[in-house]
Amino acid sequence: MVDRRSPFLGSFTVVFAACLFAMLGVLSRTAYGEGVTPYAFVTWRSGVAAIAMAVAVLFTLRRGRRLVGWRSLTRHDRVALGVAALAGAALDVTMFLAFARVPVAIVLLCFYLFPAMVAIGSALLGWEPIDRPRALALVIALGGMVAVVIGGEGTGALGGLDPVGVLLAIGSAISQAVFVLVARRGYRQVPTEQAMTLILTVSASIATLLAIAAGALSSVWLPFSSPSLFALLVFTGIVAAGIPSFLFLAGIRWIGGVKAGILMLAQAPIAVALAAVFLHESIGAVQVAGGVGILAAAFVIQRAPSASLDPIDPE
């Protein structure tokens, strides 16, 4: 049992989860340097995390939780869970493809456009109107996005950034926004660990199929011939995916989805710092200002009294 009388511990749990998630950029780039393709990385990251979540499912079943079968779900919940699984797979694939093309900081700054996208989606669906604070936040987010894209040092299109990488990063934000909107009202009768096991399994399966289609299946088998690479990817799946997923969900139940979402913004600056130390990446001053704008806009939108920004279904 968690002690709900200690919100500080609940907040610490979420921030610690953000620290673990923040390692994914550096870990993925390290694996790429060893010959692993983004598709293979997603296969291992999601596959190992799915196994870890399956272990959690078995643990909860032994403690009396019921296994929710596919046939027991309503048609609405089946569609919602299916869309969430596809959105999760799209998020993983686009984000880790983006990590291979543009700096980690740029990927995450683009990714944190998703709260603004969720606000727009909620308004279009009639769930929440866009009030003045949200409207201002959207304008700031869009301005920040422009600064991130065009404010890089150097010459060339998009300030020296790979435009495909930027579009992939924005695609990851769109995928997360779809995931959030679906998770708000869909498949709530499915326990979190069971839903996430399915979602991660779908992500790993799709990444494997994409690796086969790209003729890069050998990259999926590469870790079996390299003990150090194998250890890196198992570490990634458990420590940078499985464990923080548990901690994040525990934090949502402990302190609520809105506050947990705000605290998860810690992922961006931590990931940027790790990339600077281990990958020697840097970003321009204008991009820093744009990133601050995006994070500030996300903070304003997350502060809104609504559950629409929960990144996963807490039940």
Break the chain into its structural domains and give their ranges: 7-302
Compute the distance between CA of residue 221 and CA of residue 217 in angstroms, rounded to an integer.
Answer: 7
Question: Quick one: which H or E segment has residue 40?
Answer: helix 38-62
Q: Which two tokens stand for residue 126?
A: 């009639």
Q: What is the pLDDT of residue 97?
A: 96
First to last CA, the chain: 16
**Residues of the chain falling short of pLDDT 50:** 1-4, 155-158, 257-258, 307-315
Give the other-Cβ count within 10 Å of 42's Cβ. 28
Type of residue found at 273: A
Q: What is the pLDDT of residue 10?
A: 75
Q: What is the pLDDT of residue 218?
A: 93
Compute the distance between CA of residue 10 and CA of residue 12 in angstroms, rounded to an integer.
Answer: 5
CA 90 to chain centre: 11
Q: Which of 298, 314, 267 is nearest to 118 (CA)?
A: 298
Compute the distance between CA of residue 106 and CA of residue 291 in angstroms, rounded to an integer.
Answer: 8
Q: Which of 110, 91, 220, 206 is nearest to 165 (CA)?
A: 110
Q: What is the pLDDT of residue 156?
A: 43
Q: Which of 112, 256, 87 is nearest to 187 (CA)?
A: 87
Q: What is the pLDDT of residue 145?
A: 67
Q: Are 172 and 113 in contact (CB under 8 A)?
A: no
Q: Which two tokens stand for residue 43?
A: 């296969």
Q: What is the pLDDT of residue 307?
A: 44
**Residue 128, C-beta contacts closer than 8 angstroms, at least 6 positions apart:** 119, 122, 304, 306, 308
Give the other-Cβ count within 10 Å of 48's Cβ. 22
Whose structure tokens read 């010459």?
A: 155
Dump pLDDT digits (tens) for 288-303: 787 777 777 767 765 6
Packed helices 285-302 and 104-111: angle between N→C axes, nearest 10 degrees: 30
Q: Are 273 and 39 in contact (CB under 8 A)?
A: no
Q: What is the pLDDT of residue 160?
A: 63
What's the number of CA atoms in the CB half-sphere (13 Å) around residue 311? Answer: 28
Q: Which two tokens stand for residue 35?
A: 């010959």
Q: What is the pLDDT of residue 1?
A: 44
Dump pLDDT digits (tens) for 8-37: 787 788 788 888 988 999 999 999 999 999
What's the number of CA atoms in the CB half-sphere (13 Å) around residue 93? Answer: 18
Q: What is the pLDDT of residue 262?
A: 62
Q: Are 88 and 202 in contact (CB under 8 A)?
A: yes
